[in-house]
Structure 1
Amino acid sequence: MTEQAYCLPRTTYFDLAPETGGDPYRIFLFRPAVEAPVGGWPLLVMTDGNANFPFAFASLVTQAPYPSGTGVDWGVIAAIGYPTDDPYDAMRRAWDLGPPPVKSYPPYVEGGPPVRIGGSGELLAFIDKQLLPRLAEVVLLDATRRSLFGHSFGGLFTLYALFEKPDLFANWIAASPTIYWEGSEILKNEALRQTVAGNEVMLHLSAGEYEGEELAPFQYLNEDAAVRLVRKKAERTVALAQEMADRLDGAADGIRTQFELFAGETHMSVVGPAVNRAIGIAFRRPNS
């Protein structure tokens, strides 16, 4: 028996370095095999591309062939990751997805470099000024049907980007956003958010059931159960996301919100359901 490497059909990747300097991003790209519609394809941009792209690919290719049954049509996925085989690059994602101001934290491991956050503005500029134009060069896209998805720190980045440039995407999908980070400093960005200039945009917030004030049943068996429970109650991931959705829904600045709780899911297991929901939002069949 001869084993061979396997790749996901219709997928490619390319590395793109910021014009302002720094290490390149790895962009994972899926383009449908069929001809683009007259107005161009809808686009889903994702953070944590190494981890999230396979979920998105599987969700789209199993649903888009059956639009009348799933409500999902074809579209383009562009996931922003890093030149690594690991699902996450912890150091780079901390900088890219952690909103300003710039701050440093102790190393992840003893003797390692300090962890820095505060680069979200740079990543947002990269998406706006480099990534979107580059994608438009290689595939026909509908600029009115763009969506952004992020989970955890990526969800926090999604909120930051929404409050900074609300017209950049039509749908903003923030799963398990770390709203609590730095004393919920993102709420300052919310308070100073920009008004949507064009059509109303949609913010979908979500979290897993076991990101609230209860652990998953198996987690109570862990040695760190007590510490984990205290941390979860301080983070208030579910409550803060729900509160933001309630606060922003119907606001005069053109943001419509939804909140969804995924039953039975933890902070990490919720990635699959959350990405699946992002596919349903980004590539929703018209009139479905």
Structure 2
Amino acid sequence: MIPRLVQEGASLAPNARWFDLEDRASGQIRRVFLWLPEGPAPEAGWPALWMLDGNAVIGTAIDAMRTQAFWPSGTGLGWGALVAIGYPTDAPYDSFRRSWDLGPPPGRSYPPFVEDGPEVRTGGGAEMARFLLEDVTEFLATQAPLDPARRTLFGHSFGGLFALWLLFTKPESFSAWVAASPAITWEESFLLEHLARFTPENPTRVHLSAGAWEGDALAPFQCKAPDAAERLAEKARTRTLAAAQDMAAALTAKGLVAEYETYAGETHMSVLPVAINRALHWAFALPPAPLDKGAS
């Protein structure tokens, strides 16, 4: 039984729609964005890029796709479907809900984001994973032919943490993964315990990245800010760039096709458009990249 469709509408560009779906287990409503190329799908169905933080990323992804895939000889980008998971809001983020959805279990509780607001909780990643892999997958099967063998998951920050956790716990879920500025050290780096137990059985491609200003130094515009010292201390704790580099090396050692890239001149938030574009090429490069490192 497919999940209940609460409402739907047109979105942002030709061939783009959104669907508010009710989670069959929790009853929560999440918005699923879907954009499809013109013309008939390949025989196996469209390859698809699935993106977390859907409200924040879908517009950039559609624009980048439409301006590049029509000229494959100049861009190396083929056509594919775009799937983005977000919330029924016009804001780019629902910070309260994404904390729960994208925070892998077991999670913790934190003070409210706003005065008199609700307690912030993490740890709902298993609920979100079930929604993606069951509810959304079954619903999309009624909307478009998608190739189950060619689907990529993209996440940024908390979304990158979620993507890596899903890779370690359900590696069969996607054929490729993109984790931009992933929050690897979140909650005492519990993700590394999953990495230690991870024994991949099938070839998998993983792209990790971070902005250059997510390393040890502040961005030039931050250097004289009143909170410069606090920002430097936070960088020392989170180690976003170094942790992503270490993760790429660890995954390579486990036999995966893993790459790391630093985006020059970018901070934790400004990396997002660059990372989305890279995710498109990781998912839809022409010709499709082989999973086997020894393949030609």
- Is TM > 0.5 for Structure 1 vs Structure 2? yes
Deviation readout 1:214-256 (Å, 9 max, x if unpaired): 010001121111111111121100001100111110415xx22
Counterparts of 1:119 and 1:210, CA distance in 2: 30
- Asked if the contact 1:166/1:194 (under 8 Å) is kept, the reply is no
> What does 1:79-98 align with in structure 2 at a 5 Å threshold?
79-98=84-103
The code of the aligned residue for 1:204 comes to: H
Is the counterpart of residue 203 in structure 1 residue 206 in structure 2?
yes
Unmatched tracts of structure 2, length 5 or more = 1-9, 290-296
Counterparts of 2:136 and 2:51, CA distance in 1: 12
- Asked if the contact 1:28/1:78 (under 8 Å) is kept, the reply is yes
- Asked if the contact 1:45/1:148 (under 8 Å) is kept, the reply is yes
- Asked if the contact 1:250/1:257 (under 8 Å) is kept, the reply is no
User: Residue in 1 aligned with 2:169?
Assistant: 164
Counterparts of 1:141 and 1:81, CA distance in 2: 20
RMSD value over aligned CA atoms? Answer: 1.5
User: Residue in 2 aligned with 1:236?
Assistant: 239
User: Residue in 2 aligned with 1:271?
Assistant: 272
Off by >6 Å, runs of 4+ in structure 1? none
Taking a change above 3 Å as real, the CA distance of residues 150 and 6 of structure 1, as seen in their structure-2 partners, is closer
User: Residue in 1 aligned with 2:143?
Assistant: 138
- Asked if the contact 2:125/2:162 (under 8 Å) is kept, the reply is yes
Partner SS state of residue 9, structure 1: coil
Is the counterpart of residue 283 in structure 1 residue 288 in structure 2?
no
Taking a change above 3 Å as real, the CA distance of residues 32 and 211 of structure 1, as seen in their structure-2 partners, is same
- C-alpha displacement at 1:22, in angstroms? 2.7
Equivalent residue in structure 2 for 1:223, among 226, 230, 240: 226
- C-alpha displacement at 1:129, in angstroms? 1.1
Deviates more, 1:205-214 or 1:133-142: 133-142
- C-alpha displacement at 1:163, in angstroms? 0.5
The code of the aligned residue for 2:15 comes to: R
Partner SS state of residue 150, structure 2: strand
Q: Percent identity?
A: 50
Taking a change above 3 Å as real, the CA distance of residues 7 and 54 of structure 1, as seen in their structure-2 partners, is closer
Counterparts of 2:253 and 2:189, CA distance in 1: 22
Partner SS state of residue 138, structure 1: coil
- Asked if the contact 2:199/2:254 (under 8 Å) is kept, the reply is no
Counterparts of 1:162 and 1:22, CA distance in 2: 26
Number of residue pairs the alignment of both structures matches: 280
Unmatched tracts of structure 1, length 5 or more = none
TM-score using structure 2 length: 0.91
User: Residue in 1 aligned with 2:19?
Assistant: 14
